[in-house]
Chain A
Amino acid sequence: MKIAVCIKRVPVMEVKFAITADGSRVDETGLKYDVNDFDLWAIEAGLQLKEKNGNVGEVVVITLGTDAAQEQIRKALAMGADRGVLLQADRAPADGLAVARALAAELKDGGYDLILCGRIAIDSMNQMTGPMIAELLDVPCVTNVFRLEVAGATGRAERVLEGGSEVVEFPLPALLTIDDGLNKERLPSLKGIMAAKKKPLDVRPAQFGDAHVVVAKMSLPAERAAGRILGDSAAAVPELIRLLQTEAKVL
């Protein structure tokens, strides 16, 4: 089974973000980076499918970004992926379709049985790359997958809805976007980290095409003011009810 996994280098979120003086982008000073969570679960899904298939085939990790993103590819290789491709670009475009075009161009002639993406990248929060790639390649697409069975040339997945879910059947080859709940990613072993250094990692320029969406500006949302502590026991409940009725007007 030949599986491609699209991953993204994203900032670790446990920081206060700042915007550059010209208001055009996030200030990268002091940021740390890792593989997007959802993409880690997509890598894990790819590795498990290959293992279930007698370890026959290949898991290829593809990312789009600067040379620094080789670090994230190496992490995936250390987890067990077979090879990596970096589509080199100074900056990912704000237009999701431009990103999808670059990835689709790389995937097009790869002969993949499955293309896996994370549901969403937690930096851009676009959540559109997967279904756009599927359309560009004309392959079936199931998004937000949190349960998955693949048998031969067909798959059955359960996808998250707001307050519910859907069971979906699809033929391979297909593209799936992976949601939280499908699995937990494995940690790279020391042996895996050593092996990753010798695995192939190809670098080529990304091809985006035209873009319709551009960033006009970046800003920080208004801070929420800290509220009031009303008490330390059920004795505070009447005051809470009063405030919900009179001040917040939600009861």
Chain B
Amino acid sequence: MANVLVVAEVRGGELRKVALEAVTAARVLADQSGGGSVHAVLAGAPGIAAKAGALALHGADSVLVLEHAGFAMYNPEALATTIAQRLSGGAYGYALFSATSHGRDLSPRVAAKLGAGLVPDVTGFRVEGGAVVGEHPQNNGKVVATLSLSGAPALIQVRPAAFQPAENAKPLVTESMASAVDPDASRVKTVELKQGGGGKIDLNDAPVIVAGGRGLKAAENFKLCEDLADAFGNAAVGATRAVTDEGWRPHTDQIGQTGRNVSPNLYIGVGISGAIQHLAGMRTSKTIVAINKDKDAPIFKIADYGIVGDAFEIMPALTAAVKAARAQG
């Protein structure tokens, strides 16, 4: 039996979907290791405690609330010190983080403070004879490393969308947690949060992604992607590196080897030929649709459904059809 500490990711005072995924994964880990407790850390400005309910609903036995104005924005130094201190007492077998910009910044700091092992960005894991065994994509996702992690606490990052949030309601129990150091004394200060790239929904949170490539020919033609994303209602707009290099979309929208890795339920690639670097970032999407006028474009090799044709003709028709289908559904 081992307890699990899970760090629930918050941005702009809101819990992110990855936090619910991480708590779901933490519950699986606690149950696999013989029925330990799941303690979720919820850090934010005063008032963040109001978000604790969703963590209990997804399986947290206890929510450790770390409220301080100094945590209104991401405060990696104070958070890492506080989490490392909590983990150092021997009460936890595992600590779980999201493999996001924040989680991949925070967890290595905690691991280094503790001298603990960290398995990065796992798409799945199991407990085997006390060790955590996790699958970690490498080489652009073309190779999977199965990594074994021993020692306690064992730190694990879970890849966004690898675990679907599952309800597993526990009574809401909160405990207030003090920062181990003065949060205002951190050397690294986050002074501004800029929400949203070009899309209205975060690429890693969106169940549907409409991504555009150089085939769209100009920045203003991304309106076609925005319109289709709006028709879905729950879609984000992404782009290829060629597009962000041209300045048609912000760099934060880039999907691929040098950008974000995404795994939505539905990915629609428009005017994207499918350079290997782009495919690396989206090949784990559940369903892939490609629209491209070149029938030999590599993206068709991994797409479930393809239309070989003119995006400027097909996109408005698709947007109208999605609107109609959703109006009926």
Question: Do residues A251 and B104 form an inter-chain contact, with CB atoms below 8 A?
Answer: no
Contact B147 A216 (CB under 8 A): yes
Cα-based distance from A164 to B193 in the complex (angstroms): 8
Contact partner, A217, options B74, B76, B146, B197, Cβ 8 Å: B146
B223 to chain A, nearest CB (A): 17
Query: Would you call A191 an interface residue if the criterion is a C-beta within 8 Å of the partner chain's C-beta atoms?
Result: no
- Establish whether residues B283 and A212, one from each chain, have CB atoms under 8 Å apart when the complex forms: no
Interface residues of B in 161-212 (CB under 8 A from A): 187-197, 199, 201-205, 207-208
Does chain A have a CB within 8 A of B7? Answer: no
**A81 CB, min distance to chain B CBs, angstroms:** 22
Alpha-carbon gap, A96 to B304, bound state (A)? 36
Contact of A212 among B102, B116, B259, B276 (CB under 8 A): B116
Inter-subunit contact B133/A13 (CB<8 Å): no
Known: A128-B118, A218-B144. A251 touches B326 (CB 8 A): yes
Q: Are A171 and B187 in contact (CB under 8 A)?
A: yes
Taking a contact as CB atoms under 8 Å apart, the answer to whether A219 and B146 are in contact is yes
Residue A68 interfacial (CB < 8 Å):
no
Bound-state Cα–Cα, A94 to B322, Å = 46
Give bound CA distance, A238 to B306, whole Å.
13
Interface of B is mostly: mixed
Tally of A interface residues using CB under 8 Å: 85
Q: Could you tell me the distance between the alpha carbons of A132 and B276 in the complex, rounded to whole angstroms?
A: 30
Residue of A nearest to B119 (CB): A213
State how many angstroms separate the Cβ of B11 from the closest Cβ of chain A.
7
Bound-complex Cα distance A64 to B280 (A): 25
Chain B residue nearest to A124 in the complex (CB): B138
| Given A122-B257, A237-B318, A248-B287, residue A232 in contact with residue B145 (CB < 8 A) | no
- How many residues of B sit at the interface, in one of the four size bands? 35 or more
**Is B258 close to A, CB under 8 A?**
yes
Interface code B107-121, partner A: CB below 8 Å = 1, 0 otherwise?
111011101111111
Q: Which of A164, A174, A179 contacts B202 (CB 8 A)?
A: A164
> For residue A151, which residues in chain B have a CB less than 8 angstroms away from its CB?
none
Q: Are B196 and A163 in contact, CB atoms less than 8 angstroms apart? A: yes
In contact, A167 and B191 (Cβ under 8 angstroms): yes
- Kindly list chain A residues whose C-beta atoms are within 8 Å of the C-beta of B101: 143-144, 159-162
In the assembled complex, A190 has its CB within 8 A of some CB on chain B? no
Interface 1/0s, chain A 3-24, versus B by CB < 8 A?
Answer: 0000000010110110100000
Name the one of B109, B140, B193, B232 contacting A131, with C-beta atoms under 8 angstroms: B109
Q: Is the CB of B313 within 8 A of A234?
A: yes
How far is B316's CA from A85's CA once the two chains are assembled, in angstroms? 56
Interface residues of B in 78-130 (CB under 8 A from A): 80, 100-102, 104-105, 107-109, 111-113, 115-121
A132 interface neighbour in B73, B108, B154, Cβ under 8 Å: B108
**A85 CA / B208 CA spacing, docked (Å):** 46
* Contact pick for A94, options B113, B137, B145, B321, CB 8 Å: B145
Top 9 A-B pairs, shortest CB-CB distance: A212-B117, A135-B112, A163-B202, A181-B251, A234-B317, A128-B108, A227-B304, A180-B258, A167-B192
Q: Which A residues fall within an 8 A CB radius of B? A: 11, 13-14, 16-17, 19, 26, 37-38, 94-97, 100, 122-132, 134-136, 140-144, 146, 158-171, 174, 179-181, 210-221, 224, 226-234, 236-238, 240-241, 243-245, 248, 250-251
Given A135-B108, A163-B199, A179-B251; 12 other pairs, CB 8 A cutoff: A19-B143, A94-B145, A97-B118, A128-B111, A159-B101, A163-B204, A166-B73, A167-B190, A212-B151, A231-B307, A240-B321, A251-B325
